[in-house]
Amino acid sequence: MAKLYFSYSSMNAGKSTILLQAAYNYRERGMAALLLTAALDDRAGRGRIASRIGLAAEADLFEATTDLAAHIRTRRSEGPLDCVFVDEAQFLTEAQVWQLASVADDMGIPVICYGLRTDFQGRLFPGSAALLALADTLREVKTICWCGRKATMVARLDGSGRIVEQGEQVVIGGEDRYVSLCRRHWSRRQLSHEGGHGAATNEGADGA
């Protein structure tokens, strides 16, 4: 039976690397995989999934208004489809997560989603909340805080490396904008052994 999977983590845990490797394994065995990624995240180029270690692949884009079940159904009508991979799954809507569940349940196609669990304020993204509720299988992709503990939280930084506590939920960025921390040091706003954190700032959205 096909399942809906959600692999989640904090920032820079290697989710895209794992996705690209899994998709490659499918294709290496002569199986067809469809890759999807959020249209609003174009850091690797529009319609492209890339990892920090240099792996990359083309992907179809989804927006908040995209009917993913219809998109996948159309793709399957064009030829065999053995698996669907979704990057940046935190940007899915709740309705889209239900659509992906129907792809697994009604079309018999496994759907494997990768994304962040929480934002810089420790709150669930809507897509992640829906996936945590609906996915058949949950997998945590682990990374570590500077202290060596498991990192479960994400801190947002401003241009000077100071922690930001207010602002829009979605501000696209990489290592220059976000750092993964354990819950203890996220709560303390502590970025290093020296205790550097800077005063928190009130910042609005500077991108999406």
Task: Convert the pLDDT of each residue in 41-73 to its tens digit.
Answer: 666 557 778 777 777 788 999 999 999 999 999
- Distance (Å, rounded) from C-alpha 47 to C-alpha 39? 7
- Catalytic residue, chosen from 28, 88, 94, 165, is 88
Nearest CA-CA partner of 60 in 52, 49, 70, 51: 49
- Distance (Å, rounded) from C-alpha 202 to C-alpha 183? 21
Q: Is 175 a catalytic residue?
A: no
Architecture of the domain delimited by 4-140: 3-Layer(aba) Sandwich (3.40)
Q: Which tokens in the block code for residue 41?
A: 């995240």
Enumerate residues 6+ apart whose C-beta is below 8 A from 38: 61, 62, 63, 87, 88, 91
- Distance (Å, rounded) from C-alpha 153 to C-alpha 155? 7
The pTM score is: 0.81
Q: Which of 16-30, 35-49, 102-116, 171-185 has the highest mean pLDDT?
A: 102-116
In which band, very low, low, confident or very high, does the pLDDT at 204 lie, cut at 50, 70 and 90? very low
In which band, very low, low, confident or very high, does the pLDDT at 207 lie, cut at 50, 70 and 90? very low
- Distance (Å, rounded) from C-alpha 164 to C-alpha 154? 11
Task: Convert the pLDDT of each residue in 94-146 to its tens digit.
Answer: 999 999 999 999 999 999 999 999 988 888 999 999 999 999 999 998 888 99
- Distance (Å, rounded) from C-alpha 119 to C-alpha 107? 32
For the chain, give every domain's residue range.
4-140, 153-201
Would you say 132 and 25 are in contact if contact means Cβ atoms under 8 Å apart? no
